[in-house]
């Protein structure tokens, strides 16, 4: 039975806000609630219609694609198979051609975003409000797979904004979190003492849902198990952003006394896929995202390619996101027609450590790097408890401001005993597998 607040939020507050501000979150959320149960053919048809419209938009109004696809006629792209022959878009392309990737016809507001690059190449891009409303509607649908509703108390074991926020922005964030009933706790610096403090706040808050980076969930679960504490009333746990292995799932589920739902997303597209109650792969948000793999499924894991169907300001077509996976189009026992990602590899981020015994999730690094505009590519290696070494390919020398942000974020997470040394390089060699490793911890 959803709480009174959830019902008020879903049926009254958010619809009123959306009407007043001309926003589409509520409309998309309703649509997605229905469309997830469509048969696969109907979903495929919808997806192709949206893809085709986006391709046409790209051909007509995006200088980058007009150049890249020279020699290909729009009329030649008649089927998904034709589309699958178009060349792939890479992070490096986005960075080199950001301006030309913008549509000349889009008149709405573009919101600037960045990713620190879980594969080591930070990327800057734009999204539109229309796309943002699709994305948040997708996120909420994935969260709803847990059975929890919008506005139910949710604890986030997450990161904090980089740098110093102005006072008004702090208020805005706080108001949003209260409105949505979210308690967001920074877990980029982990120690027994921190976990104890988080437990006290969490017990007082009484969350129904817990969302976190896998390394944060794992750290907190281990603390709960070791100290024989419980966090009563949790109905589900949502994991994000890192590969999840069976022992971690078991540990987290036992410590929280609730099932774990894995999700897959990225800063470029937000929510991409999430597990349903059957926990057999992750359902792709395929009304908003066309997800392909470079090779068909029987060939095994291959590059995941994303087409972002509703960002008309800066269209991403067949973007290699840097992960490798396997797609499964067979029906899921839950009855949803959405395809699934059944295996995902990539995002190998080692845990880092501080001299004072704190544990720092590798996610800290891309989280901070998204705000350092000079860095084109990087890798951070921990050489001792007191020293981190960053190899970085830079567009220009680091500014005073960037260097300050880096130092202060490192000190926040590690304490003042750990120093970050930056070494400018012209290239960062890949692993034999072709993948990049973003953080390399001390040998266990």
Nearer to Zn ion, 276 or 344 (CB): 276
Q: Could you tell me if 339 and 286 are in contact, meaning their C-beta atoms sit under 8 angstroms apart?
A: yes
Q: Could you tell me if 185 and 39 are in contact, meaning their C-beta atoms sit under 8 angstroms apart?
A: no
Nearer to Zn ion, 333 or 444 (CB): 333
Cα-only R_g, the chain = 22
CB of 40 to Zn ion, least distance (A): 12
At 186 the three-state DSSP class reads: strand
Nearer to Zn ion, 332 or 428 (CB): 332
CB of 276 to Zn ion, least distance (A): 3
List the 260-266 sheet strands across, edge first: 182-186, 154-158, 209-213, 236-240, 260-266, 270-275, 282-284, 340-345, 319-328, 302-308, 289-293
Q: Which residues of the chain form contacts with Zn ion (CB under 5 A)?
A: 276, 278, 332, 334, 336
Alpha helix stretches (DSSP H) within 62-126:
63-68, 80-83, 91-96
Q: Could you tell me if 305 and 8 are in contact, meaning their C-beta atoms sit under 8 angstroms apart?
A: no
Q: Could you tell me if 373 and 398 are in contact, meaning their C-beta atoms sit under 8 angstroms apart?
A: no
List CB contacts of 168: < 8 A, sequence separation 6 or more.
none
Nearer to Zn ion, 134 or 261 (CB): 261
The whole-angstrom separation of Cα 172 and Cα 7 is 23
Nearer to Zn ion, 23 or 336 (CB): 336
Nearer to Zn ion, 130 or 277 (CB): 277
CB of 372 to Zn ion, least distance (A): 39
Provide the strand spans (E) within 188-346: 209-213, 236-240, 260-266, 270-275, 282-284, 289-293, 302-308, 319-328, 340-345
- The tally of CA atoms less than 13 A away on the side-chain side of residue 20 is 6
CB of 125 to Zn ion, least distance (A): 31
CB of 338 to Zn ion, least distance (A): 8
Length of the chain as a residue count: 444
CB of 274 to Zn ion, least distance (A): 10
CA distances from residue 2 to 5, 31, 150, 274 in whole angstroms, order as listed: 8, 20, 9, 22
CB of 336 to Zn ion, least distance (A): 5
CA distances from residue 88 to 68, 130, 184, 200, 292 in whole angstroms, order as listed: 10, 24, 37, 48, 11
Nearer to Zn ion, 3 or 278 (CB): 278
CB of 141 to Zn ion, least distance (A): 12
In the chain, what are the helix, strand and coil shares in percent, each to the nearest 5? 35, 25, 40
CB of 329 to Zn ion, least distance (A): 13
The whole-angstrom separation of Cα 48 and Cα 82 is 11
CB of 295 to Zn ion, least distance (A): 24
The whole-angstrom separation of Cα 393 and Cα 385 is 24
Nearer to Zn ion, 50 or 275 (CB): 275
Nearer to Zn ion, 36 or 119 (CB): 36
Nearer to Zn ion, 142 or 405 (CB): 142
Task: Please provide residue 277's backbone torsions phi and psi, each rounded to the nearest 5 degrees.
Answer: -65, -10
């Amino acid at each position: 039975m959803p709480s009174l607040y959830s019902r008020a939020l879903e049926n009254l507050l958010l619809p009123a806000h959306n009407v007043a501000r001309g926003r589409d979150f509520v409309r998309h959320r309703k649509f997605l609630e229905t469309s997830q149960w469509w048969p696969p053919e109907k979903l495929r048809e919808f997806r192709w219609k949206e893809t085709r419209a986006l391709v046409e938009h790209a051909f007509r109004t995006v200088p980058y694609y007009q150049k890249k696809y020279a020699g290909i006629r729009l009329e030649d792209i008649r089927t998904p198979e034709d589309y699958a022959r178009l060349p792939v878009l890479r992070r490096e392309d986005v960075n080199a051609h950001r301006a030309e990737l913008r549509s000349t016809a889009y008149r709405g507001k573009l919101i600037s975003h960045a990713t620190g690059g879980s594969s080591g190449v930070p990327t800057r891009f734009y999204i539109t409000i229309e796309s943002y409303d699709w994305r948040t509607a997708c996120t909420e649908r994935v969260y709803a797979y847990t059975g929890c509703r919008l506005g139910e108390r949710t604890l986030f074991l997450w990161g904090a904004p980089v740098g110093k926020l102005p006072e008004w922005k702090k208020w805005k964030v706080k108001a949003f979190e209260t409105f949505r009933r979210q308690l967001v706790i920074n877990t980029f610096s982990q120690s027994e003492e921190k976990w104890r403090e988080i437990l006290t706040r969490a017990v007082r808050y009484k969350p129904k849902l817990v969302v976190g980076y896998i390394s944060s969930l794992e750290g907190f679960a281990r603390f709960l198990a070791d100290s024989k504490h419980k966090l009563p009333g949790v109905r589900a746990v949502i994991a994000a952003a890192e590969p999840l292995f069976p022992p971690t799932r078991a540990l987290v589920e036992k410590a929280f006394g609730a099932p774990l739902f894995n999700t897959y997303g990225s800063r470029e597209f937000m929510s991409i896929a999430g597990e349903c109650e059957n926990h057999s792969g992750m359902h792709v948000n395929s009304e908003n995202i066309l997800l392909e793999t470079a090779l068909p499924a029987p060939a095994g894991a291959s590059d995941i390619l994303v087409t972002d169907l509703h960002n008309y300001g800066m269209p991403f077509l067949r973007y290699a996101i840097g992960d490798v996976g396997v797609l499964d189009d067979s029906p899921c026992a839950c009855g949803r027609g959405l395809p699934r990602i059944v295996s995902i590899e990539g995002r190998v981020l080692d845990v880092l450590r501080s001299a004072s015994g704190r544990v720092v999730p590798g996610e800290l690094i891309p989280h901070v790097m998204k705000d350092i505009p000079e860095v084109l590519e990087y890798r951070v290696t921990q050489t001792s408890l007191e020293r981190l070494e960053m190899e970085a390919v830079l567009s220009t020398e680091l500014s005073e401001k960037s260097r300050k942000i880096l130092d202060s974020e490192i000190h926040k997470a590690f304490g003042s005993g750990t120093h970050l040394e930056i070494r400018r390089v012209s290239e960062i060699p890949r692993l034999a597998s072709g993948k990049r490793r973003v953080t390399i911890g001390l040998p266990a």
